[in-house]
């Protein structure tokens, strides 16, 4: 494998990780406004799961209170997602473009490497070391 192919694969993995971190609000995004909004959304979703469990197991007043909490959390989650989408869109587009570009480059470099391997296999004399005598 060529050094360029190895470096390109590494760059591709880094961009992919950046995209994953962007969605979670972790990694390089941790101390940014975007990271904060992502974490708020994730925390609200966790709270909603708890409220959902309470709503399905409670009775009477507790059940009604849990249902109200669910409605409130649904609204807050919707707002958090909308805010995240606005903040994240330019970064997602940029990372998506980088992923596409690097993916195409990896494919081209892999094809080059395969063609070189096939050529060398069909021309074994070129792969043998020269003996000077």
pLDDT tens sequence across 7-21:
999 999 999 999 999
- What mean pLDDT value characterizes the chain? 92
Q: Would you state the pLDDT for residue 126?
A: 78
Which ranges of 58-128 does DSSP label H, i.e. alpha helix? 61-122, 124-127
Task: Evaluate whether residue 125 is within a structural domain.
Answer: no
Q: Would you state the pLDDT for residue 48?
A: 95
Task: Evaluate whether residue 94 is within a structural domain.
Answer: yes
Per the structure, the complete domain to which residue 79 belongs is given by 3-120
What is the value of pTM for the model shown?
A: 0.74
Task: Evaluate whether residue 93 is within a structural domain.
Answer: yes
Which position has the token pair 């059940």?
63
Task: Evaluate whether residue 130 is within a structural domain.
Answer: no
Mean pLDDT of 114-126: 88
Number of domains in the chain: 1
Task: Evaluate whether residue 133 is within a structural domain.
Answer: no
Q: At residue 130, does pLDDT exceed 80? A: no
Residue 132: which pLDDT band, with cuts at 50, 70 and 90? low
Task: Evaluate whether residue 126 is within a structural domain.
Answer: no
CA–CA dist 92, 21 (Å, integer): 11
Q: Would you state the pLDDT for residue 124?
A: 83
Q: At residue 133, does pLDDT exceed 60? A: no
CA–CA dist 61, 65 (Å, integer): 6
Task: Evaluate whether residue 131 is within a structural domain.
Answer: no
Find the Cα–Cα–Cα–Cα dihedral 69, 70, 73, 77, rounded to 10°. 180
Q: How far is CA 64 from CA 56, 57, 60, 71, 73, in A?
A: 10, 11, 6, 11, 14
CA–CA dist 10, 14 (Å, integer): 6
Task: Evaluate whether residue 129 is within a structural domain.
Answer: no
């Amino acid at each position: 494998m060529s050094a360029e192919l190895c470096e390109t694969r590494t760059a591709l993995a880094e961009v992919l990780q950046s995209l994953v971190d962007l969605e979670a609000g972790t990694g390089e995004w941790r101390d940014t406004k975007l990271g904060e909004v992502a974490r708020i959304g994730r925390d609200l979703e966790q709270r909603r799961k708890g409220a959902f469990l309470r709503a399905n197991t409670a009775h009477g007043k507790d059940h009604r209170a849990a249902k109200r909490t669910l409605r409130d959390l649904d609204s807050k989650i919707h707002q958090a997602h909308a805010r995240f989408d606005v903040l994240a869109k330019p970064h997602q587009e940029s990372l998506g473009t980088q992923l596409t570009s690097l993916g195409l480059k990896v494919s081209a470099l892999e094809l080059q490497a395969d063609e070189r391997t096939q050529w060398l296999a069909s021309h074994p004399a070129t792969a043998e070391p020269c003996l000077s005598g």
